[in-house]
Homo-oligomer: A and B are copies of this chain.
Amino acid sequence: MLSKRIEQLGIVVPPLAGPFGAYVPARRVGNLVYISGQLPMKEGELLAIGPVPSRVSVEQASLAARQCVVNALSAIRTVVDLDSIVGVVRVGAFVNSDVTFTQQPQVANGASELLIELFGASGKHARAAIGVNTLPLGAAVEIEFLFEVKGP
């Protein structure tokens, strides 16, 4: 069960950060749940701000990407129970990048690897890792997710 696995990994799923305006943290359609782009917020602050690598190291950005997964768990709880998640379908990772930075996959791995730790084989997902020149609040990374859930 995912809820048990989260506990085993020592992860605390935070209360939902807000406020949200005209959009929602998660939207279900059929057995798919779309998660809004997550920023690496932790206890009300961004873990990493600015472009990689001039302001944020690859390692820091990868940890920030991991935090985006933790926040996605908080988001998905708004529409389904965590234990109803079947697996991860797609991850879209946008990395705040200096123009010469080309290791976006290494940053995105911080998210992908936690998804495997959490879900095992069913955590394996399709992924796009993209460099961009800026992101909301100056975050070093923003990640959106598509989950598969039980029924209907």
Q: Does A100 contact B (CB under 8 A)?
A: yes
Within residues 75 to 125 of chain A, which ones have a CB less than 8 A from any CB in chain B? 88-92, 94, 97-105, 108-109, 112-113, 115-116, 123-125
Q: Which of B34, B99, B116, B148 lies in contact with A90, CB distance below 8 A?
A: B34
Interface assignment of A60: CB less than 8 Å from any CB of chain B: no
What bracket does the count of chain A residues touching chain B fall in?
A: 35 or more
Contact with B along A6-45 (1 / 0, CB 8 A): 0000000000000001111111011110111100000000
By a CB distance below 8 angstroms, the chain B residues around A125 are 23-24, 27, 34
- Is A134's CB under 8 angstroms from B101's CB? yes
Specify which chain B residues have a CB less than 8 angstroms from the CB of A142 in the assembled complex: 128, 130
- A129 close to B134 (CB less than 8 A): no
Do residues A130 and B127 form an inter-chain contact, with CB atoms below 8 A?
Answer: no
Binding site for B on A (CB under 8 A): 21-27, 29-32, 34-37, 88-92, 94, 97-105, 108-109, 112-113, 115-116, 123-138, 142, 144, 146, 148
